[in-house]
Copies of this chain bind each other. A is one copy, B any other.
């Protein structure tokens, strides 16, 4: 899963596509009060991560998310807070199928809907709780649906499927090779799925297994089945939330940008730090000097980095560059979707500096760090002691790199503002 690196595709489709995301589930299986689509993953509701995935796909025109009445307001707040500009919220109904049908109605002119959206040729249906679907997969189901009327992702069965008799004894096992698990996304030409729903009985709405089956039953369309990757899995249990969080953290930890000043020490130590960190992630180094400031601003604004390291020489205050960097992260809204990690490395020459640290220096930036944390920016601090002994410096830099790596991977607000001494 490389969501952060996922380039904006160059794909073009000669037909229009929209998406409907049912998000009415109640989360009973989770054992939590909150339905799983609203559970937090890195302090953000899971559904917002799925919406981000869809909004990255430029050829999907509209996204309709269907939620239960009691979550309607919450959903609109989420959309506002995380800037999901292409998403419309529609009120669901009692069953999943009725909710999907309500979502489809938002595209049909003469339906009493809050918003009326342009009817697409193809509609993708996807679960709000499958956040990691990739553009490729969406593209494949959309084009196959345009061609065949219906398409859906499948996966090999993980377990053997058995039929039970009413007394809970084994009746027979299915031959695994002949069957597949039907997953999401699925896609349909709009008219096929809309017609299928128009003909649904109350029984279908209540017990009907899935859309592919309805398209077959009411429109005679046999869906094209496409092998999907394991990432399509559905966040169902608490452990799936753990997994989703780890996947995102791993993805956010792939790149770091180091800013050095122009003085000799920071430039030199920046280079050493780069060497040590390169074994752990991709590293870029930039000198933040007056004539290169616009390049730094450009790099920060690119949205490619969620991790920054600033090498500081003004013991132990924050340099002007760091203050500017914080402003930029905020203004460019880089931390709206994911927490941004900023590690400030203070250089301390043991040969020239005092051998003791004032207690107040340890707590001086705590308030600033708390304030930044409210904006989803995690500020950590490292005090890097060095002397002219090259061996020791390398040792220290290696330790610093391992700490920075850990701070980036864990993104834990508990340690913000703290001074870690190397």
CA of A216 to CA of B419, assembled, Å: 65
Q: Which residue of B lies closest to A246 (CB)?
A: B242
Given contacts A363-B421, A403-B415, contact A169 B239 (CB under 8 A): no
List residues 14-59 of chain A with CB under 8 A from any CB of chain B. Answer: 29
CA of A225 to CA of B415, assembled, Å: 49
Partner of A159, one of B183, B224, B243, B355: B183
List residues 218-232 of chain A with CB under 8 A from any CB of chain B. Answer: 222-226, 230
The 9 closest A-B pairs by CB, nearest first: A406-B414, A242-B246, A239-B243, A356-B356, A159-B181, A362-B421, A173-B213, A160-B182, A243-B243
Copies held by the complex:
2
In the complex, are the beta carbons of B29 and A236 less than 8 A apart? no
Q: Any chain B CB within 8 A of the CB of A163? A: yes
CA of A13 to CA of B396, assembled, Å: 59
The 0/1 profile, CB within 8 Å of B marked 1, for residues 160-202 of chain A is 1111110011111111111111110000000000000000000
Shortest Cβ distance from A63 into chain B, in angstroms?
23
Chain B positions within 8 Å of A239 at CB level: 230, 233, 243-244, 246-247
Q: Which residue of B lies closest to A404 (CB)?
A: B414
In the complex, are the beta carbons of A173 and B163 less than 8 A apart? no
Q: Any chain B CB within 8 A of the CB of A388? A: no
Interface segment, A4-12, A150-158, A298-306, A311-319? A150-158
Shortest Cβ distance from A94 into chain B, in angstroms?
18
Q: Any chain B CB within 8 A of the CB of A84? A: no
Chain B positions within 8 Å of A72 at CB level: none
Q: Which residue of B lies closest to A243 (CB)?
A: B239
List residues 316-368 of chain A with CB under 8 A from any CB of chain B. Answer: 348, 350, 354-360, 362-363
Chain B positions within 8 Å of A169 at CB level: 148, 222-225
Chain B positions within 8 Å of A226 at CB level: 168
Q: Any chain B CB within 8 A of the CB of A268? A: no
A-B contact pairs, 10 of them (CB 8 A): A155-B159, A162-B181, A163-B178, A163-B180, A175-B209, A242-B246, A243-B243, A246-B246, A355-B360, A406-B414
Q: Which residue of B lies closest to A420 (CB)?
A: B418
Chain B positions within 8 Å of A148 at CB level: 169
Q: Any chain B CB within 8 A of the CB of A76? A: no
Q: Any chain B CB within 8 A of the CB of A284? A: no
Q: Any chain B CB within 8 A of the CB of A95? A: no
CA of A164 to CA of B175, assembled, Å: 13
Chain B positions within 8 Å of A128 at CB level: none
Partner of A154, one of B162, B213, B354: B162
Shortest Cβ distance from A134 into chain B, in angstroms?
15
Q: Which residue of B lies closest to A421 (CB)?
A: B362
CA of A292 to CA of B164, assembled, Å: 59
CA of A229 to CA of B151, assembled, Å: 32
Shortest Cβ distance from A366 into chain B, in angstroms?
9
CA of A415 to CA of B412, assembled, Å: 13
Chain B positions within 8 Å of A237 at CB level: 230, 233
CA of A348 to CA of B356, assembled, Å: 16
Given contacts A362-B421, A405-B414, contact A212 B162 (CB under 8 A): yes
Q: Any chain B CB within 8 A of the CB of A385? A: yes
Shortest Cβ distance from A329 into chain B, in angstroms?
23
Q: Any chain B CB within 8 A of the CB of A240? A: yes
In the complex, are the beta carbons of A174 and B170 less than 8 A apart? no
Q: Which residue of B lies closest to A183 (CB)?
A: B159
What 5 new A-B contacts, CB under 8 Å, besides A170-B222, A355-B358, A356-B359? A158-B234, A158-B236, A163-B180, A171-B222, A354-B356
